[in-house]
Chains A and B, each alone.
Chain A
Amino acid sequence: MIVGMKDALKLIGISVIACCAVFVCTLFLNYNIDIAAMKNEITAAGGVAMYNAVVSTGKVVAAVSGGCLAVTSVIMLLFYVKNYIDTHGKELGILKALGYSDFNIAKHFWVFGLSVFVGCALGYAAAFLYLPGFYELQNADRLFPEIKVQFHPALAFILIVVPAISFAALAVIYACFRLKTPVLDLLKEKREYKAKVSKNKTNDMPFLKELTRSTVRGRKSLVFFIMFSAFCFSAMVQMSISMKDLSSETMAVMIMTIGLILAFMTLFLSLSSVVKGNAKTIAMMRVFGYKHSDCSGAVLGGYRPFSYIGFAIGTIYQYALLKIMVTVVFADVENIPEYSFDFKACMITLILFILTYEIAMYVCSRRIRKLPLKSVMLT
Chain B
Amino acid sequence: MIAVSDITKSYGAGGNRNQVLKGISLQIADGDLTVILGASGSGKSTFLNVISGLERPDSGSVLYGTSDITKLSDGELTQFRRDNIGFIFQQYYLLPNMTVEKNVRMGADLADNREYAEIITAVGLEDRSSKYPSELSGGEQQRVSVARALAKKPKVLFLDEPTGALDEQTGRQVLDYICKLHKEYAFTIVMVTHNQNIAEMANTVVKINSGKISEVLQTKSKRPLMR
Contact = CB atoms under 8 A, between A and B. Distances in A.
Nearest to B106: A207
Given A193-B97, A202-B101, A291 B75 contact: yes
Nearest to A185: B134
Given A289-B81, A374-B54, A207 B97 contact: no
A210 B105 contact: yes
A285 B83 contact: no
Interface stretch (B58-66, B88-96, B206-214): B88-96
A77 B83 CA distance: 44
A207 B109 contact: yes
Interface in B190-223: none
A288 B110 contact: yes
Contact of B98 (A210, A280, A289, A377): A210
Interface of B: 49, 54-55, 75, 78-83, 85, 87, 89, 91, 93, 95-99, 101-102, 105-110, 129-132, 134-135, 152
Contacts of B131: 194
Contacts of A208: 109
Contacts of B95: 211, 281, 284
A264 B78 CA distance: 32
Contact of A290 (B54, B82, B91, B98): B82
A115 to B, nearest CB: 29
Contacts of B87: 287-288
Contacts of A193: 96-97, 132, 134
Contacts of B105: 206-207, 210
A190 interface: yes
A287 B55 CA distance: 10
A193 to B, nearest CB: 5
A310 B116 CA distance: 39
Interface of A: 188, 190-191, 193-194, 197, 199, 202, 206-208, 210-211, 214-215, 218, 280-281, 284-292, 373-374, 377
Contacts of B130: 199, 202
B102 A289 contact: no
B142 to A, nearest CB: 15
26 contacts: A188-B134, A191-B96, A191-B97, A191-B134, A193-B97, A193-B134, A197-B99, A202-B130, A207-B102, A210-B105, A214-B97, A214-B102, A218-B97, A280-B93, A285-B106, A286-B78, A287-B54, A287-B81, A288-B81, A289-B81, A290-B78, A290-B110, A292-B78, A374-B55, A377-B89, A377-B93
A207, A285, A291 — most chain B CB neighbours (10 Å)? A207
A9 B190 CA distance: 46
Given A214-B102, A377-B91, 15 more contacts: A188-B134, A197-B99, A202-B101, A202-B130, A211-B98, A214-B98, A215-B97, A281-B95, A285-B106, A286-B78, A288-B87, A289-B79, A289-B85, A291-B75, A377-B93
Given A285-B106, A287-B87, A202 B78 contact: no
Contact of B135 (A194, A207, A280): A194
Contacts of A207: 102, 105-106, 108-109
Nearest to B117: A202
B50 to A, nearest CB: 11
Ranked nearest first, the 4 interchain pairs of A and B with the lowest CB-CB distance are A289-B82, A289-B81, A207-B105, A207-B109
Contacts of A373: 54-55
